[in-house]
Structure formats: structure tokens, C-alpha cells
Amino acid sequence: MKKMISYIRFVGLIVLIVALFAFTSERNKQRKINRVQIEFIEEQDPYVSELSVNKLLIQNQERVTNVGKEILVLNTVEQELDSHKMIEHSDVYLTVNGELRAQIKQRTPIARVNAVTPFYVDATGNTMPLSDSYSAHVPLVHNVSEREVKEVFPLLKMIQKDDFLKKHVVGVFRNHKGNYELEVRVYSFRTVIGKIENLNSKVKNFKAFYQKALKDKSLDKYKKVSLQFSNQVVCTIK
């Protein structure tokens, strides 16, 4: 008899747990998303606004906050965000209290190409449109088309990563021979890089020349500094 009572109690406990789980699950499905929180990860300039992200967080022409949690497909929301031309990556998730959170990583422009329709080159070597929210302080690139972005990208990436170049270089120019020149911030001389090859050696030579000429106070004397030739810097005086 005692075994029968224990068995009945055990079965009743199981039924109660299943019922509570089903009830909680149903209540959770019916709960509406009550808040949307957007977070921009990493310290970046605002190339895409929070308002623009909010506009993308829409399902079936309704605001996400009016959509039941059971019909909100997070992967779809992430795909919508990732399709934005200013967004590199997004992570969208729901909290237990019905809050929708979106973490946004923007794309990082490293150069602006001065074309008929200007555009940025980002840190991955892809093109991106100009932002309506913010203008990036990056080197200007002249006489380069979209098809030549891959060619010049190693130079742009080096400028972005190298503190010396990042401080002094404000522009990149591709001449009619396909050689590249740098425009420096203060001085008027042209710095001829030549073809996009042996960049480490060329930059090393340029740094050595610049520091010596700066010490000698002779930087104003030159109109062209050529780094095209192996292990040497050829200067043309004004």
C-alpha cells in the first residue's frame, strides 16, 4: 500500500512539473518584446546611426517591439542588419525579460577614394559608401577606380597600421604610369612609392630619410623624393 502511495505521488509530481513547464512555455511565447537595446561594440565613429539600425529591426512592416517572441527569427534579423553597407557584423539575442538586444560592429574605413561617386575602402579591402552620419578622417586617394582598389589596398593598409605613415600621409595618388605617390601633411614634396611592391623596405627608407632631413632642417628643399629604387632614396631639389 505504501509503495502504491509513493508511486502515485511520484507520478503526480511528474505531471505537475510537465504542466508547469507547458504553462511557462506558453506564457513565454505570448510575451511581447517590450524593449530594444542597441549597442555599438568597440569605440568607432558613428558611420551608422542608432535610428538606422532601429529601422532595420522591423518584421512584416511592424516594429520589433510589437512582434511576439515566438515569431521573431533572430537569424533573419541579423541577416537584415549584416546586409547594411555600414555594418560589418551584428549579434542579436533576446533576454529572459523580453528585451531584444543588438550588438553592432561597424565597418572601418581606412581611405576615401575621390571618384565621380566617392567611396571608402574599409579595413578588409572592400568598398563602402560614404556615411550620412559622419565623415571619416582618412587619406584621400586620387585617380583610382574600384577595380584598382585591390592593387592599392596593401599600401592603404600599411598607412593605417603604421603610426608614422598614419600621422604624416594625407593622400595617395596614382599617376598615368600606374606608379603611386604619397602626399605628406606638412611638406610639399612628392613621395614616389612606385609599384605596390617591397613596401616594407620602401617605408623603412622613407622613415630614415625623413628623420635625417628633419634633423638637418632640409625637408623644404625637396620637390620629389623617390623610393622606387632598391635600398636608396633619390631626392630632387627644388
Instruction: Please report the pLDDT score of residue 33 as a whole number.
Output: 61
Q: Which residues partner with 179 through β-bridges?
A: none
199-238 confidence digits (pLDDT tens): 999 999 999 999 999 999 899 999 999 999 878 889 888 8
Number of compact structural domains in the chain:
2
Task: State the number of CA atoms in the 13 A half-sphere of 191 facing the CB.
Answer: 21
- Among 106, 134, 150, give the residue marking a domain's end: 106
The boundaries of the domain holding residue 97 are: 32-106
Query: Counting every residue, how long is the chain?
Result: 238
State pLDDT tens for residues 168-182.
999 999 998 899 999
Please tell me the distance from the alpha carbon of residue 128 to that of residue 141, in angstroms, as a whole number. 14
Q: For residue 230, what is the domain's CATH number?
A: 3.40.50.11690
pLDDT value of position 200: 94
Residue 176 belongs to some domain of the structure: yes
Predicted confidence at residue 61, as pLDDT, reads: 40
Low-confidence spans in the chain with pLDDT less than 70: 1-34, 58-73
Integer Cα distance of 219 and 159 in angstroms: 21
Residue that is last in its domain, among 56, 87, 106: 106
Task: Kindly report the pTM of this predicted structure.
Answer: 0.76
